[in-house]
Every structure is written in C-alpha cells, then in structure tokens.
Amino acid sequence: MKILTIPLKQSLNFILLSIFTVSISPAIANSDKQAMEAVQKARQMTRQDDHSAHLTPVDESQKFRGVYYGYLPCKDCAGTKMTLSLKNKNNYLLVTQYAKASSREYYDKGKYTWDDKTRTVTLVSRKNSSISKYSIIDEGTLVPFTVDGTPRVVDQDEYALRRSDTVESREVHIH
C-alpha cells in the first residue's frame, strides 16, 4: 500500500500545480485588445522616424519603364501595330507589324534616353545606330516624331503609344 501512495502523491501534486498555474495565467497574460494597442503604438513610433537617410535615389529615366502599345496610321499601308518596351538599364525593344501586308514582325533593340526637359524619348538602334524620337505627352503616352524628325503636333491621339498599365485593354484592331 505504501508503494501505491507515493505515485498517487506525485500525481496529486502535479495536478494541483497544473491547476494553480492555469488559474494564475489569465491574470498575467495580456488581452488581444491590449496586444493590438501595443502593436499600433510601435507602428506609430516607427512612422515618426526620418527614413530619408537610407532611401536609395530614384533614377528618373527608370520611372517611365514599361510597355507602350499603339496602332499608327500609315500613308503607304493599312496601318502599323507598334509595341515599345522600355526596359531596365535604358534598353528598349521595338516590335513593328504592318497591317495586311504580312504578319511578319520587325524587331529593333537598342538604348534609350529620357529627357523630361525637352519632353522626348530618344531611341538609338543597336543595328545601324539610327535614331528615332518620341514626344512625351504624359507618363503614360508617347507620340512618335514625324519622318523629318520634328515633333508631331496634329493628330496626336491617332499616333499615340499608351503604356499598358494606363489602358484597359491592349487589343489592337488591324483593318
């Protein structure tokens, strides 16, 4: 009988200690509301700090990166579908497809520069170093210069290339 009482006493002590611990823990623990208030206070404290010291400077030419789409009229053909992709490190890819003549696409790669002062984007082809320019209408619209290299002032809407995130659909209808 003495052998049975020792394990029973140990079990009873363990049960009493567990009950005591459980009954005290709600008094010690924070409520969810108090915990959320502490998190909100911590967020407000971090927002008050000045983080400008460790911000990286933004390259202005990179803020206009993106893919520009458009269907441009053409004197000698039914029209031209153009896709201009301004990529990282001032690289570009220009894809041109003439309507109805063939479904062949023409590719041109090279470097671009973006000039906010003159409101132009200049493309320099890797193939033959040819230069083509586009007028900046706004952050989401480019209009190609005329053949003689002057900015286009009439029918800008007809000649516009629009950035993909500024238009609802990128579908281009070729007639």
Residues 138 and 41: their CA atoms lie apart, in Å, by: 41
17-70: pLDDT as tens digits: 677 666 665 555 556 777 778 878 877 776 655 556 656 655 555 567 889 998
Q: What is d(CA 122, CA 159) in angstroms, rounded to the nearest whole number?
A: 17
The answer to whether residue 145 scores a pLDDT higher than 60 is yes
Measured CA to CA, the distance from residue 156 to residue 159 in angstroms comes to 5
CA distances from 2 to 12, 14, 20 (A): 15, 19, 27
3-state secondary structure of 160: coil
State the pTM of this model. 0.59
Phi, psi of 53 (to 5 degrees): -65, -30
Least confident of 42-56, 72-86, 108-122: 42-56
Third-level CATH fold of 60-166: Lipocalin (2.40.128)
Sorted by where each begins, the domain ranges of the chain are: 2-49, 60-166
113 contacts 134 by C-beta, under 8 angstroms? no
- The torsion angle over the Cα atoms of residues 75, 77, 83 and 89, rounded to 10 degrees, is -60
* Distance between CA atoms of residues 107 and 51, nearest Å: 43
In this prediction, residue 168 has a pLDDT band, given cuts at 50, 70 and 90, of low
Using 50, 70 and 90 to split pLDDT, how confident is the model at 155?
Answer: low
Residue 79, pLDDT > 70, answer yes
